[in-house]
Structure 1
Amino acid sequence: MAVEVVMPKLGMAMKEGTVSIWNKEVGDPVEKGEPIASVSSEKIEIDVESPAEGTVLKIAVPEGEGVPPGTVICYIGISGEEVAAALAVEEAQKPEIEKVDPVNEKAESISSVSTTRNRVKISPVARKMAEEANLPIENIKGTGPGGRITKEDVEAAIKNSSSPQTEAKQESSETPVKPLEEAQQIPVSGIRKVIAGRMYDSLQKTAQLTINMKADVTDLISLQKQIAQTVQNRYDQKLTVTDFIARAVVLSLQKHGEMNSAYIDDKIHLFKNVHLGMAVALEKGLVVPVIRNAESCSLIDLSRNIKIIAQKARQAQLSIEEMQGSTFTISNLGAYGVEHFTPVLNPPETGILGVGVVYNTPTYIGENLERRSILPLSLTFDHRVLDGAPAAEFLQTIRQYLEEPITMLL
């Protein structure tokens, strides 16, 4: 009998998972444990492995479509094996569409259209494209699994809808209408769709304000160079400016506990432990792995943990636990030459620190003009939790640690 492959549950709060990409097509052979698809939830994207050896008999959920955890996304079995029995059970579990007795001819027509629309199988991406093009989905022939309408079917229908009548109207018009430039349409799915939803919700549901400050990190860079060889020899570790920044943030959060918090259900949750999120840019999007109990880490430990989670993120080896529970986040765009920017909160956190690129500038130190290294800092915070003054004091504390780096080693 065909083996069902279901949408995994990636965390207790997961309500829907999306098939980002299929690595196999119907009829392709698979080995047990071989990745057959990538699926994503709110915070993570993982590969789904085949539970058995065999052949892909049917793909039940197309790319870009979201379904609840436990939903069958495909069937694996022996080539030529029927999946009718499994599909029959699946169909039997679907709720029946309630029949409405027509009161008159108009009501009967409306009921018929509504029932037909409910029965049309179409992916969310294809449905949106059809609605934007004002195409009745009942008139589009589906070529996907089970007759499902795919985006390719809608694109073909849009192309075929360009009739000679439309061209005639344009020619007879006094003011010729210039056709819109054709553009490539890329459906938003997978981790990109997750990020889009979370960032939109973040801006809609929080009172975000960003303040900027500059730190003179000349002495910090000098200290980093002085101890580089010792740290390398003793700990086999390379300290970076980012490591010092993370340490300064952790120490500052311990002094300003209101920033190490979350706004949840009209309550401010103050956390005793610092679970530091470090944003990592990947090809598919941004992820925020977490260093738990960062307050108990020395500078060397923090440096080591930052490099470990960054490497795991780039190799797609992060566990669900390593992606959840952060209380404050650092986002560093210095490598891209960015100075000040406006980082967006990672809900439900109260704050996120944006780090820019270090640049050199002439600065007066007393009566002397010196070349100094300046680090731009951007703090976005939730104004519902605290006001501008305490947020500025928190940022000042970070700057003080960075400008007096020896205090982070004591």
Structure 2
Amino acid sequence: MAVEVVMPKLGMAMKEGTVSLWSKAVGDPVEKGEAIASINSEKIEMDIESPAEGTILNIAVQEGQGVPPGTVICHIGDPNEKIKIDEPVAVETQLKIDEQEKPKTKESPTLPMGDRLMITPVARKMAQAANLDIEKIEGTGPGGRITKEDVQKVIEERDSIPVNTEKRIVPPKPAIESQQQIPVMGMRNIIAKRMKESLQSSAQLTLTMKVDVTDLVILQKQATETLQKHDSTKLTITDFVAKAVVLSLKEHPKMNSAYIEDNIILYEHIHLGLAVALENGLVVPVIRNAENCTLRQLSNKGKELARCARDGQLPIEDMQGSTFTISNLGAFGVEHFTPILNTPETGILGIGSAYDTPLYIGEELERRTILPLSLTFDHRVLDGAPAAAFLQTLKRYLEEPITVIL
């Protein structure tokens, strides 16, 4: 009996999922656990694995089509097995029916199903816009899939071919700049809308401050060496900053709030969001009730959430409900930047790249490590002075790091 493959529900709030790419075609054999399609829903992108061994009997949902959770997207069974009449018609079958109803036109060459080209939707549209033959593009993605980088490479190589200057000189024509049109969809589309809404719906202001973390770096290395004797835990500077943020929020509860419908909502608990960069976007996993976590627990939970996010296994519930967010661009060499609020939150802290510089400590000039911080806050909730006071409290914790672990 044929096995139904359905659109999974990636969280309680999910209303629709989209098939972004089919890795298999009708008639292709599949193994149990083998990836057969890629799907996305808001900030989640993942592969769907075959629940059974068999053959793809039909494909009921086309690439780019969104359907509610639970919708059958294909069937897997024995090669000669028939699908019930009341079940979805295969995309390939429907296309044939549509073609019979349309006036006959010159057909473009197609590949046999066994040689079906795998290409991402974005790459396909880029290739069409640039008038490229996708059959001549070499794919470097999984299973030979053609990616947007592959198409971009072909376009750049084509545009870099030198012009033969020995040919007859013709009157110059107005230059037409080569353009690419990349559709904004999936996660990128959601991020674009939310960032625009954030800037339009709040009064954002950013303050910057430099913190001397010389003693913190020493403590962090000592703590990591001690912990790794017992397990693989590795504490990072970001872990210490996260704990210091939680302690500072407890002293400045107005920063742990939200502006909703002309009301300031003060939260009882601290749900700390940690921005995680993905290949095609950004997600913010949430450590709930962070005020009850030790430094080590914050570190372990943060790393586990980040791993799940990068593997596409993070439930939507774990990306909702944060009350304050931390974003770290230090690994990219950025010092100060302007993070955008994860509305309706009141604050978001940006961590820059630490650097060494000579500083006077009393009368002596010493080599010290400086960590740049950027705090964006909603000016509707609090003014510059209380926001600066929050930064000063955070600075105190980081410059007296023993207070973070006591």
CA 1:341–1:77: 2 relative to 1, 3 Å: same
CA 1:210–1:62: 2 relative to 1, 3 Å: farther
SS at match of 1:24: coil
TM-score under structure 2 length normalisation? 0.73
Q: 2:195 aligns with which of 193, 199, 209?
A: 199
CA 1:261–1:39: 2 relative to 1, 3 Å: farther
Q: Matches of 1:67 and 1:351 in 2, distance apart? A: 36
CA 1:181–1:263: 2 relative to 1, 3 Å: same
Q: Matches of 2:127 and 2:47 in 1, distance apart? A: 29
Q: 1:223 aligns with which of 182, 206, 219?
A: 219
CA 1:360–1:76: 2 relative to 1, 3 Å: same
- The alpha-carbon deviation at position 32 of structure 1 amounts to 4.4
- The alpha-carbon deviation at position 26 of structure 1 amounts to 2.5
Q: Which residue of 2 aligns with 1:214?
A: 210
Amino acid at match of 2:41: S
Q: Which runs of 5+ in 1 are unaligned?
A: 91-119, 122-138, 144-149, 161-173
CA 1:250–1:88: 2 relative to 1, 3 Å: closer
Q: 1:287 aligns with which of 268, 283, 287?
A: 283
Q: Which residue of 2 aligns with 1:259?
A: 255
Q: Matches of 1:153 and 1:226 in 2, distance apart? A: 53
Asked if structure 1 preserves the Cα contact closer than 8 Å seen for 2:30 and 2:53, the reply is yes
- The alpha-carbon deviation at position 247 of structure 1 amounts to 0.7
Q: Which has the higher helix share?
A: 1
Asked if structure 1 preserves the Cα contact closer than 8 Å seen for 2:12 and 2:317, the reply is no
SS at match of 1:212: strand
Q: Which residue of 1 aligns with 2:154?
A: none
The reply to whether residue 35 of structure 1 matches residue 35 of structure 2 is: yes
After superposition, residues 158-197 of structure 1 pair within 5 angstroms as 176-183=173-180, 185-197=181-193
The reply to whether residue 277 of structure 1 matches residue 278 of structure 2 is: no
Asked if structure 1 preserves the Cα contact closer than 8 Å seen for 2:30 and 2:56, the reply is yes
Q: Matches of 1:221 and 1:157 in 2, distance apart? A: 51
Q: Matches of 1:316 and 1:253 in 2, distance apart? A: 30
CA 1:88–1:27: 2 relative to 1, 3 Å: closer
Asked if structure 2 preserves the Cα contact closer than 8 Å seen for 1:26 and 1:56, the reply is yes
Q: Matches of 2:331 and 2:106 in 1, distance apart? A: 48
The reply to whether residue 19 of structure 1 matches residue 15 of structure 2 is: no
CA 1:305–1:190: 2 relative to 1, 3 Å: same
Which whole-Å deviations, capped at 9, do the CAs of 1:47-88 have from their partners, x for residues lacking one? 333345433233343334433434443344443555582367
Q: Matches of 2:207 and 2:125 in 1, distance apart? A: 49
SS at match of 1:86: coil
Q: Matches of 1:263 and 1:351 in 2, distance apart? A: 11
Q: Which residue of 2 aligns with 1:163?
A: none
Which whole-Å deviations, capped at 9, do the CAs of 1:313-354 have from their partners, x for residues lacking one? 333333333333222111111111110011122233222111
- The alpha-carbon deviation at position 356 of structure 1 amounts to 0.4
Asked if structure 1 preserves the Cα contact closer than 8 Å seen for 2:204 and 2:341, the reply is yes
CA 1:245–1:157: 2 relative to 1, 3 Å: closer
CA 1:251–1:360: 2 relative to 1, 3 Å: same
Amino acid at match of 2:37: A
Q: Which residue of 2 aligns with 1:354?
A: 350
SS at match of 2:349: strand
Q: 2:242 aligns with which of 246, 252, 255?
A: 246
Which whole-Å deviations, capped at 9, do the CAs of 1:184-215 have from their partners, x for residues lacking one? x4433333333333323323333322211111
Amino acid at match of 2:353: V
SS at match of 1:85: coil
User: How many equivalent residue pairs?
Assistant: 348
Q: Which residue of 2 aligns with 1:7?
A: 7
CA 1:157–1:190: 2 relative to 1, 3 Å: closer
CA 1:78–1:241: 2 relative to 1, 3 Å: same
Amino acid at match of 2:373: L
SS at match of 2:246: helix
CA 1:140–1:260: 2 relative to 1, 3 Å: farther
Q: Matches of 1:298 and 1:154 in 2, distance apart? A: 49
Q: Matches of 2:106 and 2:125 in 1, distance apart? A: 7
Q: 2:370 aligns with which of 369, 374, 381?
A: 374
Q: Matches of 1:216 and 1:177 in 2, distance apart? A: 57
Q: Which residue of 2 aligns with 1:298?
A: 294
Which whole-Å deviations, capped at 9, do the CAs of 1:107-132 have from their partners, x for residues lacking one? xxxxxxxxxxxxx99xxxxxxxxxxx
Asked if structure 1 preserves the Cα contact closer than 8 Å seen for 2:28 and 2:56, the reply is yes
Q: Which residue of 2 aligns with 1:130?
A: none
Amino acid at match of 2:173: P
Asked if structure 2 preserves the Cα contact closer than 8 Å seen for 1:216 and 1:375, the reply is yes
Asked if structure 1 preserves the Cα contact closer than 8 Å seen for 2:13 and 2:316, the reply is no
Asked if structure 2 preserves the Cα contact closer than 8 Å seen for 1:215 and 1:403, the reply is yes
CA 1:401–1:140: 2 relative to 1, 3 Å: farther
Asked if structure 2 preserves the Cα contact closer than 8 Å seen for 1:64 and 1:189, the reply is no
- The alpha-carbon deviation at position 255 of structure 1 amounts to 1.2
- The alpha-carbon deviation at position 355 of structure 1 amounts to 0.3
The reply to whether residue 390 of structure 1 matches residue 386 of structure 2 is: yes
Q: 1:268 aligns with which of 264, 268, 276?
A: 264
SS at match of 1:79: coil
Q: Which residue of 1 aligns with 2:66?
A: 66
Question: Kindly, what percent of the aligned residue pairs are identical?
Answer: 65
Q: Which residue of 2 aligns with 1:339?
A: 335
Q: Which residue of 2 aligns with 1:104?
A: none
Q: Which residue of 2 aligns with 1:57?
A: 57
SS at match of 2:344: coil
